[in-house]
Amino acid sequence: MAVIMRRKRGITGPMNIMIVDDEQPAIEGLLHLIDWQSYGFEHIYTARSMTEAMGVLKEDAVEIMICDIEMPGGSGIDLLKWVREHCCEMEVVLLTAYENFSYAKDAVSYGCLEYLLKPPVPEELKAVLNRAVEKIAQQEEALRYRQYGQDIQLWELTEDRENVTLPDFPLWTKLLLEKQQKALCQEVDAYERILRAREGLKTGFLLHLHEDFLQMLYSALTEKGIQAHQLLDNGDTARLSVRSVAGITDMFLWIRHVLKLAASYIEEVEKTDTVMGKIRRYVSQHLADEDLSRGDIAGYVYLNPDYLTRIVKKETGLPISEYIQRERMEAAMKLIDKTELSISSVAAEVGYQHFSHFSKVFRKHTGMSPMEYRSRQK
């Protein structure tokens, strides 16, 4: 079986990325979604099928691949399996237009970095790319150390693999999702003692532990509809993540921090009233934002956009776009009733730049024009 090796580049060296989707408009949309060049990509390849993607990978090295799951002639999962059998160290992000979290389990099992719903929100995609670049940088750092004679290869058949056992991640997942925090802490403490009793633990093992822990966490949080990268990309957590491979102390400082953060948010998400309260506050505070979207709100509460939609629908009986519109109109009614602001100023305060559009929506909501509503209140 031919093995396609990734070129060994420095951390600051150029990288290649490939976008795979059977629909050309989807590819074009991604190409214009963010500033790809700012990430230092030398080439941005595109492919419209698994076969085309395989052809690209046989000719050149690709560090990051963004791939649609639903494709004729070979799905994104099929391509991911092929990549893992033939290629080395590639980061893969899978996209899907459907809310089917069973895909996520297959994706995680084959080392998918992230699983996003289409079309991806720019901020979500940027966060995932930042993670991918950081992970590649860590791998390149390990390769540099190896060039100086330090044997820190990532998870080979070495005495580390033979003598150091990875955590019982299925048990950690179960305890996390069942909110058995005390038992989970005991498991983490016990595993830390095992590693501390081991002398000469190699950096490569810590890198592997770091990535396996992240995969476990992403799989667990996906089951709850939580976007893990939103939780992990805040300043403190990101800094702890970077330092985690420096040694056992830093590794477990990061693990405990992340587990505590994840547990607190799982508990909060399961209290629908608490999440809905956050949603209401965010919408109320951003009514003046004409472009307020489902993605903005989902990012604020760390939820998958479709999961957010279900919560809003359950609590209000409305699709999220209609909920936002209703909140805009309710706020407009209060401003017209309680202030002397001009109608055009009221429209701007609730996110409408065009008076005619505001007036049309207001009439639909109240049965009268804004001026009629103000006159009636007097």
Instruction: Look at residue 119 and tell me whether its pLDDT is greater than 90.
Output: no
Burial of 378 (0-12, 13-18, 19+ CB in 10 A): exposed
Question: d(Cα 247, Cα 250) in Å, to the nearest integer?
Answer: 6
220 with 178, same domain: the answer is yes
Mean of pLDDT over the chain: 81
126 in the same domain as 32:
yes
Does 338 share its domain with 307? Answer: yes
pLDDT at 312 over 80: yes
Where residue 5 falls among pLDDT bands split at 50, 70, 90? very low
What local confidence, expressed as pLDDT, does residue 211 receive? 83
Final residue belonging to a domain, choices 270, 299, 322: 270
Model pLDDT for residues 135-152, shown as the tens digit of each residue: 777 666 555 544 443 433
Q: Are residues 118 and 74 in the same domain?
A: yes
Q: Mean pLDDT check: name the lowest of 76-80, 143-147, 241-245, 260-264.
A: 143-147
Q: Which of 270, 292, 317 is the last residue of a domain?
A: 270
Are 292 and 258 contained in the same domain?
Answer: no
Residues 167, 260 within the same domain = yes
Full residue range of the structural domain in which residue 131 is found: 1-149
pTM value surpassing 0.85: no
Identify whether the C-beta of residue 141 lies closer than 8 Å to the C-beta of residue 207. Answer: no
Instruction: Write out pLDDT tens, residues 193-228.
Output: 988 887 767 777 888 888 889 888 887 887 777 777
- pLDDT at site 215: 83
Tens of pLDDT, residue by residue over 26-79, are: 999 999 999 888 887 888 999 999 999 998 888 777 889 999 988 988 888 889
If asked whether residues 305 and 325 sit together in one domain, one would say yes
Same domain, 139 and 251: no
Confidence band for 87, pLDDT divided at 50, 70 and 90: low
Identify whether residues 119 and 26 lie together within a single domain: yes
Tokens of 136: 């590649």
Domain CATH number, residue 108: 3.40.50.2300
Mean pLDDT calculated for residue range 123-127: 88
Percent of the chain with pLDDT over 90: 31
| Mean pLDDT value across residues 275-288 | 89
Q: From start to end of the chain, where are the E strands?
A: 15-20, 41-47, 64-68, 91-96, 114-117
Task: State yes or no: pLDDT of 372 exceeds 80.
Answer: yes
**In this predicted structure, what is the pLDDT of residue 163?**
56
* pLDDT of the residue at 107: 63
Number of domains in the chain: 3
- Is the CB of residue 39 less than 8 Å from the CB of residue 124? no
Last residue of a domain, one of 218, 239, 270: 270
Q: Are residues 66 and 110 in the same domain?
A: yes
Give yes or no: residues 52 and 191 share one domain: no
The token pair that represents 153 in the structure block: 């290869």
Among candidate residues 303, 287, 295, 302, the one with its CA nearest the CA of residue 346: 287
pLDDT at 197: 83
Q: What CATH number should be reported for the domain holding residue 304?
A: 1.10.10.60
Are residue 266 and residue 278 in the same domain, yes or no? no
